């Protein structure tokens, strides 16, 4: 029997799945997911990513079995798997979503394309997000994004499978070398995704504006959809359309709710805007977006500082508490993520690539396009963004003024008086108290003098920015990557000024 082969990657759903919808119109289908050993050896991979995928695939498999099929789990290099399937039961076409992933997936897709061409197989790929492949000009990007989001949801009511599924229960084994699976991370699957979206739209989004900056309120105020979008348990189009429908049905007096959902909609736009950068220039995963910033930090990397950051031993309580929360939950709100990168990039003067690899393993919702663009933006190497420097003491004072977050994640801080909670190294002890305290609690001294080290880092970046050649190279980066969208915001004196959206953060 002839059939179409559906290759699931980071699109682990059965509704609004363009590849599956198109293939089912042609006849029987066969659904596969491939565990690629080399992919899971990449430095941005972690066990939590694999387990989230496994949970999502298990639910996908259960749904497909209700319709007479299953998701087959294969192991091996992708073209080897395709060859083995082809030799045993030739398929008429390969269907999948486009993937803007890491460098490995980019090269793998090139190999798959070459294999399909050699064997005369048509490989049809479909847009996963509002990201445009082989896009030449940013000027029309927003219009294309809107067109993609406005297209009808592709409901798949029935599927004809190439054969009945194996009675063997669904199972997939993680590669032995994978590590790091936070005990309190989110669980995968479309049911969880839909529940999270519904809960956010109907209730939690009321606190979105004003609630996403503090690590105390952000876990509830943020949508928490980022991981489900990353692995395609729900489509971006579904989220956009449901959000807009909910906005349209809100009563006029629901001003706070409306403001929250409107702010969330802007973040959905930025989600795809940043992924487009990596799609347009895959090399920004490992090299500076503006080449004029090459060799800025690379030669000064301090491994001791890096290890202290990873171990939550920087001495700045807000930083160490954020690292601890991330390690335990796989999630952190955007402002605290930005603070971590800022601290790494300026006072600790660490290059963004090693820091980015580590953070990729820590973020359950690691999305390469967003991740590497943000790593560079926060580190000052895009050449087109204002310098972003987050003072961890001020961030603590502004967003955790009573030290609740710090004390929750750093038990040693629970014995510190409020006045010293964000700068415990400044406490004055008598000798007996000091000895007793340090025997019972581990309080790290700051790795560097924050003020002086931050100033030195900023001065180095600004000096490079003033270089004639660096300034001349800025236009090319703007033409390729900058948004064409501008916004207005009110200042305190009620006047308005135009701001570039590149200055905005985003959060889910």
* Residue 425 in this model has a pLDDT that exceeds 50: yes
pLDDT value, residue 441? 62
What are the tens digits of pLDDT across the range 114-169? 999 999 999 999 999 999 998 777 778 889 999 999 999 999 888 999 999 988 88
* Residues 442-446, mean pLDDT to the nearest whole number: 79
Q: Which residue has the higher pLDDT, 488 or 462?
A: 462
How far apart (Å, rounded) are the C-alpha atoms in residues 269 and 257?
A: 19
pLDDT category, 396, cuts 50, 70, 90?
very high
Cβ atoms of 236 and 149 within 8 Å: the answer is yes
Cβ atoms of 264 and 81 within 8 Å: the answer is no
Counting Cβ atoms within 10 Å, is residue 401 exposed (0-12), middle (13-18) or buried (19+)?
middle
Cβ atoms of 415 and 441 within 8 Å: the answer is yes
What are the tens digits of pLDDT across the range 366-391? 999 999 999 999 999 998 888 889 99
| Segment among 131-145, 210-224, 305-319, 401-415 with least mean pLDDT | 131-145
pLDDT category, 199, cuts 50, 70, 90?
very high
* Residues 239-250, mean pLDDT to the nearest whole number: 97
How far apart (Å, rounded) are the C-alpha atoms in residues 222 and 227?
A: 12
What is the pTM (predicted TM-score) of this model? Answer: 0.93
pLDDT value, residue 111? 98
* Residue 172 in this model has a pLDDT that exceeds 80: yes
Q: What percentage of the chain reaches a pLDDT higher than 70? A: 92
pLDDT category, 485, cuts 50, 70, 90?
low
How far apart (Å, rounded) are the C-alpha atoms in residues 11 and 17?
A: 7
How many angstroms from the chain centroid is the CA of residue 165? 34
Extract the tokens encoding 488: 């207005």
Cβ atoms of 148 and 128 within 8 Å: the answer is no
Q: What percentage of the chain reaches a pLDDT higher than 90? A: 81
* Residues 350-376, mean pLDDT to the nearest whole number: 97
Cβ atoms of 229 and 11 within 8 Å: the answer is no
How far apart (Å, rounded) are the C-alpha atoms in residues 351 and 334?
A: 20
For the chain, what is the mean pLDDT? 91
Find residue 94's DSSP bridge partners: 5, 123
Strands 29-35 and 93-97 come out as unpaired
How far apart (Å, rounded) are the C-alpha atoms in residues 127 and 477?
A: 25
H-helix segments, 89-189: 103-118, 141-150
* Residues 321-327, mean pLDDT to the nearest whole number: 98
What are the tens digits of pLDDT across the range 42-69? 999 999 999 999 999 999 999 999 999 9
How far apart (Å, rounded) are the C-alpha atoms in residues 370 and 385?
A: 15
Extract the tokens encoding 136: 């030449």
pLDDT value, residue 508? 53
pLDDT value, residue 137? 75
| Segment among 27-31, 136-140, 340-344 with least mean pLDDT | 136-140
What are the tens digits of pLDDT across the range 287-309? 999 999 999 999 999 999 999 99
pLDDT category, 342, cuts 50, 70, 90?
very high
Output the CA angle 111-116-121, nearest 5 degrees.
165
pLDDT category, 339, cuts 50, 70, 90?
very high
Q: Measured on CA atoms in the order 496, 499, 503, 504, is the torsion positive or negative?
A: positive
- The DSSP code sequence of 339-398 is HHHHHHHTTS---HHHHHHHHHHH-TT--HHHHHHHHHHHHT-SSSS------HHHHHHH
Extract the tokens encoding 506: 């985003």
Cβ atoms of 31 and 23 within 8 Å: the answer is no
Cβ atoms of 78 and 111 within 8 Å: the answer is yes
Counting Cβ atoms within 10 Å, is residue 266 exposed (0-12), middle (13-18) or buried (19+)?
middle
pLDDT value, residue 504? 42
* Residues 419-437, mean pLDDT to the nearest whole number: 72
pLDDT value, residue 219? 97
User: Which domains, from first to last, does the chain contain?
Assistant: 4-126 (3.40.50.620), 285-472 (1.10.579.10)
pLDDT value, residue 139? 79
* Residues 312-319, mean pLDDT to the nearest whole number: 97
Cβ atoms of 97 and 127 within 8 Å: the answer is yes
How far apart (Å, rounded) are the C-alpha atoms in residues 53 and 42?
A: 16
pLDDT category, 493, cuts 50, 70, 90?
very low
pLDDT value, residue 237? 97
* Residues 99-125, mean pLDDT to the nearest whole number: 97
pLDDT value, residue 168? 86
């Amino acid at each position: 029997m002839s059939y179409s082969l559906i290759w699931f990657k980071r699109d682990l759903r059965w509704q609004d799945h363009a590849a599956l919808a198109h293939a089912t119109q042609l006849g029987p289908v066969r659904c596969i997911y491939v565990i690629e050993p080399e992919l899971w050896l990449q430095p941005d991979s972690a066990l939590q990513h694999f387990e989230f995928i496994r949970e999502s695939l298990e639910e996908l498999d259960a749904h497909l079995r209700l319709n007479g099929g299953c998701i087959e789990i294969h192991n091996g290099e992708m073209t080897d798997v395709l060859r083995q399937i082809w030799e045993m039961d030739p398929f008429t076409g390969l269907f999948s979503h486009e993937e803007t992933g890491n460098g490995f997936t980019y090269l793998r897709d090139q190999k798959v394309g070459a294999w399909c061409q050699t064997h005369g197989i048509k490989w049809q790929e479909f847009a996963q997000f509002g990201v445009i492949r082989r896009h030449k000009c940013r000027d029309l990007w927003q219009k294309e994004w809107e067109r993609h989001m406005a297209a009808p949801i592709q409901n798949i009511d029935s599927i004809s499978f190439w054969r009945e599924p194996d009675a063997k229960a669904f199972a997939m084994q993680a590669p032995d070398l994978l590590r790091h699976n936070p005990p309190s991370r989110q669980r995968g699957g479309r049911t969880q995704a839909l529940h999270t979206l519904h809960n956010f739209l109907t209730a939690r989004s009321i606190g979105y504006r004003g609630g996403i900056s503090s690590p105390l309120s952000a876990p509830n105020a943020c949508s928490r959809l980022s991981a489900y979008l990353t692995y395609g348990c729900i489509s971006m189009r579904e989220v956009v359309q449901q959000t807009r429908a909910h906005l349209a049905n809100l009563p006029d007096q629901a001003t706070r709710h409306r403001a929250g959902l409107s702010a969330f909609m802007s973040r959905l736009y930025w989600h795809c805007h940043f992924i487009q950068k990596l799609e347009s220039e895959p090399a920004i995963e490992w090299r500076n977006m503006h080449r004029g910033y090459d060799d800025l930090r690379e030669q000064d990397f301090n491994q001791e500082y890096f290890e202290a950051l990873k171990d939550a031993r920087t001495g700045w309580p807000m930083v160490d508490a954020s690292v601890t929360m991330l390690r335990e939950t796989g999630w952190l709100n955007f402002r605290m993520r930005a603070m971590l990168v800022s601290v790494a990039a300026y006072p600790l003067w660490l290059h963004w690539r090693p820091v980015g690899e580590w953070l990729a393993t820590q973020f359950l919702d690691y999305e390469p396009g967003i991740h590497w663009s943000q790593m560079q933006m926060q580190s000052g190497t895009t050449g087109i963004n204002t310098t972003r420097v987050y003072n961890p003491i001020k961030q603590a004072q502004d967003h955790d003024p009573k030290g609740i977050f710090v004390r929750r994640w750093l038990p040693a801080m629970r014995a510190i008086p409020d006045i010293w909670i964000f700068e415990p190294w400044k406490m004055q002890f008598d000798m007996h108290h000091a000895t007793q305290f340090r025997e019972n609690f581990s309080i790290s001294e700051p790795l560097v003098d924050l003020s002086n080290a931050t100033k030195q880092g900023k001065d180095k970046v600004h000096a490079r920015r003033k270089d004639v050649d660096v300034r001349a190279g800025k236009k090319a980066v703007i033409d390729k990557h900058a948004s064409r969208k501008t916004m207005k915001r009110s200042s305190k004196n009620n006047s308005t000024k135009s701001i570039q959206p590149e200055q905005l953060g985003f959060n889910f």
